[in-house]
Amino acid sequence: MLHQSGFERKCRESYGRLVALTNFTVTIFGVLLVDRLGRKMLLKIGTGVILLALTAGKFTFLKVEAGGRMFGAAASAVTGNTLTMPVKEIVPSSSGPVQVNVVYAYNGREQMTLVRSDAAEPVLSLKPDAKSPAAE
Protein backbone atom coordinates (compact mmCIF):
# COMPACT_ATOMS: atom_id res chain seq x y z
CA MET A 1 0.00 0.00 0.00
CA LEU A 2 2.80 2.42 0.83
CA HIS A 3 4.54 1.47 -2.43
CA GLN A 4 1.41 2.27 -4.44
CA SER A 5 1.20 5.59 -2.62
CA GLY A 6 4.56 6.53 -4.13
CA PHE A 7 6.76 6.41 -1.03
CA GLU A 8 10.46 5.66 -1.46
CA ARG A 9 11.87 2.43 -0.02
CA LYS A 10 13.39 3.99 3.12
CA CYS A 11 10.16 5.84 3.89
CA ARG A 12 8.08 2.71 3.30
CA GLU A 13 10.15 0.75 5.80
CA SER A 14 10.05 3.41 8.52
CA TYR A 15 6.35 4.13 7.98
CA GLY A 16 5.65 0.38 8.01
CA ARG A 17 7.28 0.14 11.43
CA LEU A 18 5.29 3.15 12.60
CA VAL A 19 2.04 1.54 11.42
CA ALA A 20 2.93 -1.73 13.22
CA LEU A 21 3.76 0.15 16.44
CA THR A 22 0.52 2.11 16.21
CA ASN A 23 -1.48 -1.10 15.68
CA PHE A 24 0.17 -2.69 18.71
CA THR A 25 -0.44 0.35 20.92
CA VAL A 26 -4.08 0.70 19.91
CA THR A 27 -4.66 -3.04 20.45
CA ILE A 28 -3.29 -2.86 24.01
CA PHE A 29 -5.44 0.23 24.66
CA GLY A 30 -8.49 -1.63 23.28
CA VAL A 31 -7.91 -4.65 25.50
CA LEU A 32 -7.64 -2.42 28.58
CA LEU A 33 -10.77 -0.50 27.55
CA VAL A 34 -12.81 -3.69 27.13
CA ASP A 35 -11.59 -4.88 30.52
CA ARG A 36 -12.56 -1.60 32.20
CA LEU A 37 -15.89 -0.70 30.49
CA GLY A 38 -17.17 -4.04 29.29
CA ARG A 39 -18.29 -5.31 25.91
CA LYS A 40 -21.93 -4.23 26.13
CA MET A 41 -21.11 -0.62 26.92
CA LEU A 42 -18.49 -0.44 24.15
CA LEU A 43 -20.95 -1.99 21.71
CA LYS A 44 -23.54 0.68 22.54
CA ILE A 45 -21.00 3.51 22.26
CA GLY A 46 -19.53 2.09 19.05
CA THR A 47 -22.93 1.67 17.43
CA GLY A 48 -23.86 5.26 18.25
CA VAL A 49 -20.59 6.58 16.83
CA ILE A 50 -21.03 4.49 13.67
CA LEU A 51 -24.55 5.86 13.14
CA LEU A 52 -23.32 9.43 13.56
CA ALA A 53 -20.40 8.85 11.18
CA LEU A 54 -22.59 7.25 8.51
CA THR A 55 -25.10 10.10 8.75
CA ALA A 56 -22.33 12.70 8.43
CA GLY A 57 -20.85 10.76 5.49
CA LYS A 58 -24.21 10.60 3.76
CA PHE A 59 -24.78 14.36 3.94
CA THR A 60 -21.18 15.09 2.93
CA PHE A 61 -21.45 12.77 -0.07
CA LEU A 62 -24.76 14.29 -1.16
CA LYS A 63 -23.34 17.80 -0.86
CA VAL A 64 -20.25 16.93 -2.91
CA GLU A 65 -22.23 15.05 -5.57
CA ALA A 66 -24.73 17.90 -5.91
CA GLY A 67 -21.92 20.21 -6.99
CA GLY A 68 -20.29 17.67 -9.32
CA ARG A 69 -18.88 19.81 -12.10
CA MET A 70 -15.74 19.53 -14.18
CA PHE A 71 -12.86 21.67 -13.01
CA GLY A 72 -11.38 24.21 -15.44
CA ALA A 73 -8.54 22.15 -16.90
CA ALA A 74 -10.84 19.18 -17.58
CA ALA A 75 -13.45 21.35 -19.29
CA SER A 76 -10.83 22.70 -21.71
CA ALA A 77 -9.53 19.17 -22.46
CA VAL A 78 -12.88 17.94 -23.81
CA THR A 79 -13.17 17.43 -27.56
CA GLY A 80 -16.59 16.21 -28.66
CA ASN A 81 -17.38 13.44 -26.20
CA THR A 82 -13.76 12.58 -25.33
CA LEU A 83 -11.60 13.95 -22.53
CA THR A 84 -7.81 13.69 -22.94
CA MET A 85 -5.51 15.22 -20.34
CA PRO A 86 -1.87 14.62 -19.36
CA VAL A 87 -1.52 13.56 -15.72
CA LYS A 88 0.96 16.39 -15.11
CA GLU A 89 -1.95 18.84 -15.54
CA ILE A 90 -3.93 17.06 -12.81
CA VAL A 91 -1.25 16.68 -10.11
CA PRO A 92 1.96 18.64 -9.56
CA SER A 93 5.12 16.90 -10.77
CA SER A 94 6.82 17.58 -7.42
CA SER A 95 4.47 15.14 -5.67
CA GLY A 96 6.31 12.05 -6.97
CA PRO A 97 4.59 9.12 -8.67
CA VAL A 98 0.82 9.13 -8.14
CA GLN A 99 -2.15 7.12 -9.33
CA VAL A 100 -5.21 9.00 -10.60
CA ASN A 101 -8.51 7.11 -10.28
CA VAL A 102 -11.53 8.55 -12.07
CA VAL A 103 -15.09 7.30 -11.71
CA TYR A 104 -17.47 8.76 -14.28
CA ALA A 105 -20.94 8.15 -15.65
CA TYR A 106 -21.68 8.11 -19.35
CA ASN A 107 -24.90 7.05 -21.04
CA GLY A 108 -26.35 5.77 -17.78
CA ARG A 109 -23.38 3.53 -16.92
CA GLU A 110 -20.73 4.16 -14.27
CA GLN A 111 -17.18 3.40 -15.32
CA MET A 112 -13.76 3.70 -13.73
CA THR A 113 -10.33 4.26 -15.16
CA LEU A 114 -6.92 4.85 -13.65
CA VAL A 115 -3.53 6.05 -14.81
CA ARG A 116 -0.18 6.31 -13.00
CA SER A 117 2.07 9.31 -13.43
CA ASP A 118 5.12 7.06 -13.88
CA ALA A 119 3.51 5.08 -16.75
CA ALA A 120 5.03 5.10 -20.25
CA GLU A 121 2.28 7.47 -21.46
CA PRO A 122 0.76 9.21 -18.42
CA VAL A 123 -2.34 10.55 -20.18
CA LEU A 124 -5.86 10.30 -18.82
CA SER A 125 -8.25 9.49 -21.65
CA LEU A 126 -11.99 9.10 -21.16
CA LYS A 127 -14.21 8.21 -24.10
CA PRO A 128 -17.44 6.24 -24.55
CA ASP A 129 -17.37 2.63 -25.67
CA ALA A 130 -17.51 2.10 -29.42
CA LYS A 131 -20.59 -0.13 -28.87
CA SER A 132 -22.52 2.70 -27.19
CA PRO A 133 -25.15 4.35 -29.44
CA ALA A 134 -24.09 7.79 -28.12
CA ALA A 135 -20.42 7.17 -28.99
CA GLU A 136 -20.75 8.66 -32.44
The per-residue pLDDT for range 39-53, each reduced to its tens digit, is 999 999 999 999 999
Highest mean pLDDT among 7-21, 48-62, 76-90: 48-62
Q: If pLDDT is split at 50, 70 and 90, which confidence band does 133 have? A: very low
How crowded is residue 45: how many other Cβ atoms within 10 Å of its Cβ?
12
DSSP conformation letters of 86-105: EGGGTS-GGG-S-EEEEEEE
Residue 81 has pLDDT above 50, yes or no: yes
pLDDT of the residue at 67: 57
Comparing 51 with 3, which gets the higher pLDDT?
51
| Kind of pairing between the strands at 82-86 and 99-106 | unpaired
Taking the domains of the chain in order of start, what are their residue ranges? 9-66, 72-135
**Which range (6-10, 12-16, 90-94, 120-124) has the least confidence?**
90-94
Taking CA 125 as the corner, what is the angle to CA 124 and CA 128, rounded to the nearest 5 degrees?
150
- Least Cα distance to 6 among 119, 90, 107 occurs for 119
Beta bridge partners of 115: 100
What is the average pLDDT across 58-68? 76
